[in-house]
Structure 1
Amino acid sequence: MFKTQIKPLWTAGGLVVLLVLWLASGDILRAPDRAPEASEPSASALNRVQVREFRSQAHQPLLSVQGQVQAWQQVEMIARVGGEVMNLPVRQGSRVEKGTVLVELDAEDREARVAQLEADLALVEAELEATEKLGARDLTSQIEQLDAVAERARVRAELEAVKLALRNTRPTAPFDGFFDRRFVDEGDYVEPGQRLLRFADISRVRVSAQIPQQDVHKLEVGYPAAITLFDHHRLEGELSYIAAVADPETRSYYIEIEAENPDLRRIAGGSASIRIRLAQEQAHRISLSLLSLDGDGRMVVRYVDDEQRVHEQPVELLSTNREGAWVAGLPDRVKLITQGAGFVELGQEVEAVMAGEE
């Protein structure tokens, strides 16, 4: 039992001796009384970004809109006189030449009236001639001569009115085209002003569309346009009209494109896709991933200048396709940041590495 108590005393005594020796050696760790000086940044500390040099190229921009195809000419013919529909000599849907009779109305007594008035005119002209001969010999008064002239004018006017009414019983095609639709049948009685038929010329077509106000300044009359129809058939046309005033509700501008329709395809009234070829200009083709929006909602790209500083430039998006985007607004040659643009600030100096040189 006595030996068991001696061992802890020797152990404690040994620890005290070791502590005294360590303190005497003076190797006490002291806390530094000031912070270490910051080291100067080196060139290797600059943020690295990948850049690629882009050069402007000649670009043919296109303006795409949806449009409506219209017949070159289209009229709805109305009855100018009343009467029964006696005959429809042209089949609906037929193509006819100008002057072809399309509807025949009952002429009633108009032909007889024309014959009677022609005879009356011959009589009053003979009477006027006789009156003028007598007047030359002072055998009739000037009033009698004036009465004869007035009577001739009255008969002539009545004759022309009846002849016109007779012609209006036989409406004819106003131009070469299609008897597109009829609104009456044989035996119907029509009143003046009632619709008879619709007639259209589709040898050429007009394609109308509305252009946004931000794009109308790009257009000029005469620009070529490609028209793609609903069945993917294409027509080539030319911009023929641009409205001077915008629609007050849509703030868009009405345009018309004229195009030949040599195959007489039945396309009037349908929709079409229009691509107007604008004036050629210098532009850059870039990846869509390089575009972003700034705080004002403008489309921008980031680039580095000759001093390796970051800048941002607003651009105008001209068109897009599978190969990328065409933009305007950049200098002829520019180094755009292709990687790392989101990790640097505007005006910051960076280490720019050309793509493929890493």
Structure 2
Amino acid sequence: MSKAVKAPQVDAEIADIQTPAPLEFTSDKGASRSTWIAAILLVAIVAWMGSGFIFPSENTDTTITREEPKPVAVAVSTSHAKTVTQFYRAEGQALPDRDTKMRAETSGDIAEVLVSKGQDVEAGAVIARFDPTNNDADANRANEELARAQREFDNAEALLERGVSTKDRVAQARASLAAAQASVISIEQNAKSLTITAPFAGRIETLDLDEGEFVSTGSEVGRIVDITPLTVAIQVPQQSLTRLAVGLPAQVRFITGEERVGTVSFVGTSAASETRTFLAEITVENQDGAVPAGISAEVTIPTGETNAHFLSPSIVSLNTEGTLGVKTVNAQNVVEFHKIEIVKAQIDGIWVTGLPDAADVITIGQGYVNEAEIVAPSAEVVGQ
């Protein structure tokens, strides 16, 4: 009986041994320490994140503000306009005042040549003579014919007065006489053509004549040139034509270094179709003949006076449209752009128009500012 009761108890003890029990550290004092630490940290983080709502900061404005850019600092110089003389300059060529080809007015053999090439001659000077033999024979024949015609005319009139001649015969005799007179005059003119003379005073530039040479009527025998005075020809563009007028003085510098004073003697009124320029001529005295024709010359003509500013070329700039101009500062420190025109150039600067009589010109910093921009001009102002 005791064995039947003990068996179930043994089985229960065996089952308890086979089923593992969970570990418990109820007896360890540090078992709950990690739990408390995690809880404290959690509370601290939540408190820190919520502190912005519970304790808002005094400055709650988070808007980002930008400072306005400061005006660009520039240096300015006050410039005052002055009266300057305007000049028109051009390159030209010295031409002879007169240049003529000499031609034979009759045919025949050259009997003598009285001048040589390069010789200076006066107006009317004899250059050469033809052989007058043929002309002398023609003159004798014409004179005899004239005498005969005169006698027949006289006889016809005498007979008409006595009534033994008719008016028709008198008229016929008169016509014969007129023809004989015309023949004599023609031969006399031919006699004058036997002498080749200078049409004006000048220098024999070319001479193609030899004694005994046969020359036909109209043949070119030489060329005579007058370089006293000289004529300097220049080409004037159409936009500058109104600046020139006849009578203006001109300074002429030749390529040889010779300088002369001349006068504008001609201004054209019809432009060349190829270049659209007008011819202008300056007369230069050259009585000594020291300046030859054909050389280059530089002409300077004063064309009037104007008010202009003297500036350094370094302060000239271009606007966005490519216009040449100068930047200035007005009373409100605003940049203004003035279109300019160069009226005179010197080694140390240029004279320009287009600015007011007094202007604060930007001398340093003009490349960093634009028109209508506010700037900070330098307090130091240097007068021109």
- With the shorter chain as reference, the TM-score category is 0.7 to 0.9
What pairs up with 1:21-32 in 2 under 5 angstroms?
none
Could you say which residue in structure 1 is the equivalent of 2:295?
270
Tell me the distance in 2 between the aligned counterparts of 1:125 and 1:307: 107
Tell me the distance in 2 between the aligned counterparts of 1:260 and 1:269: 15
The answer to whether the aligner puts 1:326 opposite 2:354 as a matched pair is no
Could you say which residue in structure 2 is the equivalent of 1:186?
211
Moved more, 290-299 or 308-317: 290-299
Distance 1:133 1:296, change over 3 A: farther
The answer to whether the aligner puts 1:35 opposite 2:63 as a matched pair is yes
The answer to whether the aligner puts 1:203 opposite 2:231 as a matched pair is no
Q: Deviations over 1:138-165 (max 9, x none)?
A: 5543322322332232222222222222
CA contact (8 A) 2:132 2:191 kept: yes
Tell me the distance in 2 between the aligned counterparts of 1:184 and 1:144: 51
Tell me the distance in 2 between the aligned counterparts of 1:335 and 1:329: 14
Could you say which residue in structure 2 is the equivalent of 1:81?
106
Moved more, 212-221 or 111-120: 111-120
Tell me the distance in 1 between the aligned counterparts of 2:219 and 2:103: 5
Identity percentage of aligned residues: 27
What pairs up with 1:106-121 in 2 under 5 angstroms?
106-121=131-146
CA contact (8 A) 1:86 1:106 kept: yes
Tell me the distance in 2 between the aligned counterparts of 1:249 and 1:348: 47
Deviating 4+ runs (over 4 angstroms)? 30-33, 132-139, 354-357
Distance 1:37 1:85, change over 3 A: same
Moved more, 217-226 or 149-158: 149-158
The answer to whether the aligner puts 1:293 opposite 2:318 as a matched pair is yes
Could you say which residue in structure 1 is the equivalent of 2:307?
282
Could you say which residue in structure 2 is the equivalent of 1:219?
244
Aligned partner (choices 129, 142, 145) of residue 167 of structure 2: 142
Distance 1:33 1:283, change over 3 A: closer
Could you say which residue in structure 1 is the equivalent of 2:76?
51
Q: CA deviation at 1:330?
A: 2.2
Q: Which amino acid aligns with 2:117?
A: Q
Moved more, 213-222 or 348-357: 348-357
Q: Deviations over 1:296-332 (max 9, x none)?
A: 4332111122222111111111221112112122222
Distance 1:141 1:53, change over 3 A: farther
- When the two structures are superposed, what TM-score results if normalisation uses the length of structure 2? 0.79
Q: CA deviation at 1:126?
A: 4.6
Tell me the distance in 1 between the aligned counterparts of 2:332 and 2:207: 77
Q: Which amino acid aligns with 1:344?
A: V
Q: Deviations over 1:177-219 (max 9, x none)?
A: 1122112322322222221011111111111111122222221
CA contact (8 A) 1:97 1:176 kept: yes
Could you say which residue in structure 2 is the equivalent of 1:171?
196
Tell me the distance in 2 between the aligned counterparts of 1:99 and 1:334: 67
Could you say which residue in structure 1 is the equivalent of 2:261?
236
Distance 1:89 1:337, change over 3 A: same
Q: CA deviation at 1:356?
A: 4.8
Moved more, 314-323 or 295-304: 295-304
Q: Deviations over 1:88-132 (max 9, x none)?
A: 111221112111110122223102222332343344345434544
Could you say which residue in structure 1 is the equivalent of 2:96?
71
Tell me the distance in 2 between the aligned counterparts of 1:349 and 1:137: 121
Q: Which amino acid aligns with 1:216?
A: L
Tell me the distance in 1 between the aligned counterparts of 2:206 and 2:166: 60
Tell me the distance in 2 between the aligned counterparts of 1:354 and 1:86: 92
Q: Deviations over 1:34-53 (max 9, x none)?
A: 234445x59xx322221122
CA contact (8 A) 1:52 1:354 kept: no
Could you say which residue in structure 1 is the equivalent of 2:32?
none
Tell me the distance in 2 between the aligned counterparts of 1:136 and 1:324: 100
SS of alignment partner, residue 378 of structure 2: strand
Q: Deviations over 1:57-109 (max 9, x none)?
A: 22112222111111111111011212222211112211121111101222231
Tell me the distance in 2 between the aligned counterparts of 1:80 and 1:298: 64
Q: Which amino acid aligns with 2:169?
A: E
Structure 2, unaligned stretches of length 5 or more? 1-36
Q: CA deviation at 1:234?
A: 1.0
Could you say which residue in structure 2 is the equivalent of 1:314?
339
The answer to whether the aligner puts 1:91 opposite 2:116 as a matched pair is yes
Moved more, 148-157 or 305-314: 148-157
The answer to whether the aligner puts 1:103 opposite 2:128 as a matched pair is yes
Tell me the distance in 2 between the aligned counterparts of 1:354 and 1:134: 121
- When the two structures are superposed, what TM-score results if normalisation uses the length of structure 1? 0.84
Distance 1:297 1:126, change over 3 A: farther
Moved more, 177-186 or 340-349: 177-186
Could you say which residue in structure 2 is the equivalent of 1:253?
278
Could you say which residue in structure 2 is the equivalent of 1:10?
none
Tell me the distance in 1 between the aligned counterparts of 2:150 and 2:307: 79
Moved more, 338-347 or 153-162: 153-162
